[in-house]
Amino acid sequence: MEIKTESLGFSYPGRSVLKDISIKIKSGDFVGITGSTGSGKTTLAYCLNGLIPHAIKGHMTGSVLVDGKDTRKKSMSELASRAGFVFQDPDWQIFSLSVHDEVAFGLRNLKMKNAEKRIKNALSMVGLDGYADEVPYNLSHGQKQKLCIASVLAMEPDAIILDEPTSQLDYRSMMNIYSILRNLNRAGKTVVVIEHDTDLIAEYAGSVIVIDKGTVVKHGKPSEVLSDKKLLGKLGIKVPEAYR
């Protein structure tokens, strides 16, 4: 699935956040989005899957095209099945009393067939087989994060967008999540991940978008973008080990 933005701009009521963003994410890409706190990464991600303008108040200018079609002209549920979204904090999205029900939620909304089979597959893709009857509340943070990924995967979207999926995880769980993402990407899914840790982007992503104050300052291969010490220094972004 290709996602393209054309001079995209967005303001929350009374606060302009994104300005003139034109990027193209090709089908099968593994894209990392990085930038300092408050630069607009989450807001951009909301635009990519249609939460903006469908579910969030504010003023959007320009356009976002998913496979050539304007997100404004598609319904949120249609977009939800194309690009899944994993929020930063799993406690924001988990509300069911069992792991199974949590994964079933999206399927029920979209009236998808073979629900039980999809749920089983999704849970096994993230290594949560055997957890279907657990209470999500009792899972570890990493397992909750995996559950959120599974609940998106069950809907079999073409793309999956994750907002800082590893920001509260230890090193091992972090690697674990990224190897899941790599496997998904190799299976053909487009992966867009907001990530502060440039080492992870350097290792896993095929391209990187650097955002500052609501605009894209650089978009390209990690080896080109993340080796620009001068730029990264100016923006307060860590130069990855690999390019020091």
Determine contact, residues 35/49, Cβ cutoff 8 Å: no
Query: Whole-angstrom Cα distance, residue 145 to residue 151?
Result: 10
Which two structure tokens, joined as six digits, stand for 50? Answer: 């249609």
Residue 138 contacts ligand ATP per CB under 6 A:
no
Residue 42 contacts Mg ion per CB under 5 A:
yes
Spell out the residues 6+ positions from residue 70 whose beta carbon is closer than 8 angstroms to its own: 63, 64
The residue whose Cβ lies closest to Mg ion is 42
Residue 101 contacts another protein per CB under 8 A:
yes
Residue 116 contacts another protein per CB under 8 A:
no
| Interacting residue with ligand ATP among 42, 63, 98, 227 (CB under 6 A) | 42
Residue 54 contacts another protein per CB under 8 A:
yes
Residue 222 touches which of another protein, Mg ion, ligand ATP, none (Cβ within 5-8 Å per kind) = none
Cα of 3 vs its chain's centroid, Å: 13
Q: In this structure, which long-range contacts are made by residues 109-117, counting pairs with CB atoms below 8 Å and at least 24 apart in sequence? A: 109/77, 109/80, 110/77, 110/80, 110/81, 110/155, 112/155
CB of 154 to another protein, least distance (A): 9
Residue nearer to another protein on the CB measure, 37 or 138:
138
CB of 75 to another protein, least distance (A): 5
CA dihedral over 44, 50, 55, 57, signed as positive or negative: positive
Which region among 4-12, 53-61, 62-70, 212-220 touches another protein (by CB under 8 A)?
A: 53-61
Instruction: Tell me how many degrees the CA angle 193-195-200 measures, rounded to the nearest 5.
Output: 95
CB of 56 to Mg ion, least distance (A): 13
CA-wise closest residue to 185 among 42, 27, 49, 25: 27
Using DSSP's 3-state secondary structure scheme, residue 150 falls into helix
Residue 91 touches which of ligand ATP, another protein, Mg ion, none (Cβ within 5-8 Å per kind) = another protein
Which region among 9-17, 85-93, 194-202, 222-230 touches another protein (by CB under 8 A)?
A: 85-93
| Interacting residue with ligand ATP among 34, 43, 145, 173 (CB under 6 A) | 43
Write out the residues near ligand ATP by the rule CB under 6 A.
12, 15, 17, 35, 37-43
